[in-house]
């Protein structure tokens, strides 16, 4: 029998009541991934709809308790949140009635261990399910006494204010979370909804004391949850890697746990080298055929990414290469590198504005190397496009998203049939061409080429000049002149061209 106990189903209790008097063990704890605009902007992505994960009831803690940072880990982070406690059952309730099913509001600390997040991202089972990782309280605020759009959440670490935001900054109003969740399952009395954390969450270490408070400063009596106090202690029992994944961190996990690279102490990331606006305009004007001709004149004959075509008619891409490498499928390597927050997801999560993700898939068209979700992520991040010498699943959906993708075509298979996502930002081979991070990628209806950055300005200018020359030659052919001596131009035609255009420089 479930140990959840709600003292009064009529909600006729006093305005504040200790959490332990009301709930000993919730039936369900549901948490949202991103809900505050400040946090979403910090992460660089803003969801179109709320998404959730469950936390076990055994993760509940109380004010004044401790939370353990396990042995061998470094990235335990706090998240001050507003917790909603369901007072009456809710199933398929409309938005306008949803708040009436909330009995109480209190403070929570949605603690998470980023060391376990890489192989657990999205579900958060291990990274956020630890004992004591959901302290609640210390007191309840009667939900009828407050405006859900005027609540405040604050968090302190060792007395320093780290988080301070209000529900006015939510992307999804509190009532929407209740109504949305009730579409899928019954919310029962005593269930807890953790409503997300604002910007300011960061890493805590043994000895740190975290305090979280939720209040309604503009409501009569300014009701408050009081300070929810949690002290971090160091654990001494390491994880057993023979029965599950071991803790692992990288600079991305450190950055997300701390909140910024600056907070981690890591050096600032080198900015993605932007293409000069004038150069970009020239590259957009010049066709790949003309650009490749200029590269060949300069001794570069292996500039083509062969076998790929665009998913959008008439599209052209110009951008800086960000590379992703797949290696051939092998069972043990896919087990260690294929799941969780793998190289494929990291590439699409980190692509910058104006970059082109170039994927090495060994020219194998019989497997999908991206689908609609990753395409949407790249589009949202501002990617100029994707080039892969493999296939694309959800082909029509990717096209509808509007992300230009050059590939070998559609294929329905998921990751794990032929490939293991292995590494990002390394030198790769794509469609027979060597591509390095930072190379200039240009693609149009003729195909895709790779331009070394040091040659880009020279090649683009020469290609544009050649286009002007070719347009003049086309006019002469249209006027009835034979191509012999005109294409390419001999000395006589060259002189006519220079006189007609006022140029005196050989553009060849």
DSSP per position, 329-386? --HHHHHHHTSSS-HHHHHHHHPPTTEEEEEE-TT--SSBS--HHHHHHHHHHT--EE
Asked if the model's pLDDT at residue 14 lies above 50, the reply is no
Q: Is residue 478 part of a domain?
A: no
Asked if the model's pLDDT at residue 12 lies above 50, the reply is no
Q: In 3-state terms, what secondary structure has residue 165?
A: strand
What pLDDT shows up at residue 23? 67
Asked if the model's pLDDT at residue 37 lies above 80, the reply is yes
| Residue labelled with tokens 């991934």 | 33
Q: In 3-state terms, what secondary structure has residue 188?
A: coil
Confidence band of 339 (pLDDT split at 50, 70, 90): confident
Per-residue pLDDT reduced to its tens digit, 297-333 = 998 888 999 999 999 999 999 999 999 999 999 988 8
Same domain, 221 and 334: no
Structural domain count, the chain: 2
Q: Is residue 496 part of a domain?
A: no
Distance CA 489, CA 110 (A): 73
Q: Is residue 44 part of a domain?
A: yes
Contact between 15 and 221 (Cβ < 8 Å): yes
Same domain, 354 and 431: yes
CATH number of the domain enclosing 26:
3.90.850.10
Q: Classify residue 23 as exposed, middle or buried by CB count within 10 Å of its CB (0-12, 13-18, 19+).
A: buried
Of 418, 451, 484, the residue that ends a domain is 451
Per-residue pLDDT reduced to its tens digit, 222-262 = 999 999 999 999 999 988 888 887 888 888 788 888 988 88
Same domain, 20 and 148: yes
Q: Is residue 458 part of a domain?
A: no
What pLDDT shows up at residue 505? 52
Q: Is residue 79 part of a domain?
A: yes
What pLDDT shows up at residue 498? 85
Same domain, 182 and 50: yes
Confidence band of 2 (pLDDT split at 50, 70, 90): very low
Same domain, 194 and 72: yes
Same domain, 200 and 323: no
Same domain, 76 and 180: yes
Of 187, 202, 236, the residue that ends a domain is 236
Per-residue pLDDT reduced to its tens digit, 123-155 = 899 999 999 999 999 999 999 999 999 999 999
Work out the percent of the chain whose per-residue pLDDT is above 70: 93
Same domain, 218 and 352: no
Residues spanned by the domain of 167:
16-236
Q: Is residue 358 part of a domain?
A: yes
CATH number of the domain enclosing 361:
3.50.30.40
Average pLDDT, the chain: 89
Contact between 103 and 116 (Cβ < 8 Å): no
Of 220, 236, 252, the residue that ends a domain is 236
Span 174-195, average pLDDT? 97
By C-alpha distance, which of 162, 258, 150 is closest to 212?
162
Contact between 418 and 388 (Cβ < 8 Å): no
DSSP per position, 453-480? HHHHHHHHHHHHHHHHHHHHHHHHHHTT
Distance CA 184, CA 196 (A): 19
205 vs 17, which has greater pLDDT? 205
The tokens describing 345, both together, are 């997801």
Q: Is residue 224 part of a domain?
A: yes
Confidence band of 342 (pLDDT split at 50, 70, 90): confident
> Best-predicted range by mean pLDDT among 164-168, 461-465, 495-499?
164-168
By C-alpha distance, which of 434, 425, 454, 405 is closest to 279?
454
Same domain, 330 and 182: no
Same domain, 217 and 318: no
Q: Is residue 69 part of a domain?
A: yes
Same domain, 32 and 175: yes
- Residue 391 DSSP code: B
């Amino acid at each position: 029998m479930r140990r959840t106990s709600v003292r009064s189903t009529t909600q006729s209790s006093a305005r504040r009541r200790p959490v332990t008097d009301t709930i000993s063990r919730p039936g369900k704890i549901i948490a949202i991934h991103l809900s505050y605009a400040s946090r979403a902007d910090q992460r660089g992505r803003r969801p179109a709809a709320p998404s959730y994960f469950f936390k076990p009831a055994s993760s509940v803690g109380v004010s004044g308790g401790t939370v353990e940072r396990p042995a061998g880990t470094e990235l335990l982070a706090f998240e001050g949140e507003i917790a909603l406690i369901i007072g009456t059952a809710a199933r398929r309730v409309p938005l306008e009635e949803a708040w009436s099913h909330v009995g109480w509001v209190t403070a929570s600390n949605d603690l998470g261990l980023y060391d376990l997040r890489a192989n657990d991202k999205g579900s958060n089972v291990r990274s956020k399910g630890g004992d004591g990782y959901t302290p609640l309280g210390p007191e309840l605020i009667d939900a009828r006494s407050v405006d859900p759009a005027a609540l405040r959440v604050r968090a302190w670490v060792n007395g320093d204010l780290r988080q301070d935001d209000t529900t006015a900054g939510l992307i999804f109003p509190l009532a929407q979370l209740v109504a949305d969740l009730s579409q899928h399952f019954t919310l029962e009395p005593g269930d807890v909804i953790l409503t997300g954390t604002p910007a300011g969450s960061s890493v805590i270490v043994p000895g740190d004391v975290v305090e979280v408070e939720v209040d309604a400063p503009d409501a009569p009596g300014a009701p408050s949850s009081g300070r929810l106090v949690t002290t971090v202690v160091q654990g001494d029992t390491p994880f057993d890697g023979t029965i599950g994944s071991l803790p692992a961190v990288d600079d991305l996990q450190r950055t997300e746990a701390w909140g910024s690279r600056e907070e981690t102490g890591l050096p600032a990331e080198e900015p993605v080298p932007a293409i000069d606006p004038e150069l970009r305009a020239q590259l957009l004007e010049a066709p790949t055929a003309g650009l490749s001709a200029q590269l060949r004149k300069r001794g570069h004959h292996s500039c083509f990414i062969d076998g790929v075509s665009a998913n959008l008619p008439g599209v052209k891409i110009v951008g800086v290469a960000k590379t992703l490498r797949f290696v051939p499928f092998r069972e043990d390597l896919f087990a260690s590198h294929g799941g969780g927050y793998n190289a494929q997801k990291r590439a699409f999560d980190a692509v910058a504005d104006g970059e082109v993700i170039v994927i090495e898939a060994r020219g194998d068209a019989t497997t999908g190397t991206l689908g609609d979700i990753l395409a949407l992520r790249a589009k949202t991040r501002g990617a100029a496009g994707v080039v892969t010498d493999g296939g694309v699943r959800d082909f029509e959906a990717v096209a509808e998203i509007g992300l230009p993708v050059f590939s070998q075509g559609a294929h329905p298979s998921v990751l794990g049939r032929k490939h293991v996502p292995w590494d990002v930002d390394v030198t790769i081979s794509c469609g027979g061409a060597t591509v390095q991070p930072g190379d200039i990628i240009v693609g149009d209806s003729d195909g895709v080429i790779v331009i070394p950055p040091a040659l880009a300005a020279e090649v683009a200018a020469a290609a544009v000049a050649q286009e002007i020359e070719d347009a003049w030659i086309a006019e002469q052919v249209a006027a009835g002149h034979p191509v012999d001596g005109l294409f390419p131009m001999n000395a006589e035609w060259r002189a006519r061209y220079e006189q007609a255009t006022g140029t005196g420089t050989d553009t060849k």
